Structure 1
Amino acid sequence: MGVSIAVNTDGAKPLSRRDEAYNFIRAYITRTGQSPSINNIMAALGVSKTRAKALVHQLAVAKMIERVPGAQRGISIPGLFRELVLEELRREGYVVDKDIMAGVPCPQGHLPLIAILEHIPALEAGDLHATPSDRRAANGGG
């Protein structure tokens, strides 16, 4: 049950073991819907069980993952579900979240500005939204 691990091929600095462990955990949770066991991490990274536990501990200390004490498969990634949903929405063409502030153009283009009203006309007696006191005021009654 192998899961591919992202390999850095652009000539940049190679990923650390901690980053490889994180990428594996993220991919595993995304693919299966559950967290990997220490044995899964050990096999995927080709490290000892002790090293796999140490990597998981490092990720927890760095707050990149959360662990449920005593659970065999108690690893979760904070915000992963939200991140995956946002990625899917973006793939579908939606502009979400901070995209607007980041300068991602809206698919519908620029919307017209709302006109600023300098004067609000008097309420007509037939205005369906006017209250009885509004109608009296509009008709000159007090």
Structure 2
Amino acid sequence: MIQHPDITVLYLDDEKDNLFVFKANFNRKFEVITTLSPNDALHELDLHHDEIIVVISDMRMPDMNGVEFIKRAKAKYKNIFYYILTGYGHNEEIEEAIEDKLIEKYFTKPFDALEIEKAILDATSHLRRN
């Protein structure tokens, strides 16, 4: 049973192993949708934007980086909480995305599941009925 079935998280990463680890960590907490490419993630948003409340994107991907993807997604779907997950740490582009309120915050790989869960629950606390 999912602890917070009213929270759907879309996680985008170009590495299948990372998608597996993310889903294994969070599929009992939230509804989780995973995608391997920014275009697939945009398609999932088009299909499920009424359910998706949180989007977490890898930063470095071949076709489009995480900030570029979030700019495209947020232009269409503003009422979603966006985050970056990166294996490369803080950089100027991430800092600008935070300052411009494009993303809520960023997480580093390997991720701390409790940190991500807390951020999601804090951001969505006004939406939950628990």
Regarding TM over 0.5, the answer is no
Q: TM-score range by the shorter chain?
A: under 0.3
- TM-score (normalised: structure 1): 0.25
- TM-score (normalised: structure 2): 0.26
Q: Which has the larger radius of gyration?
A: 1
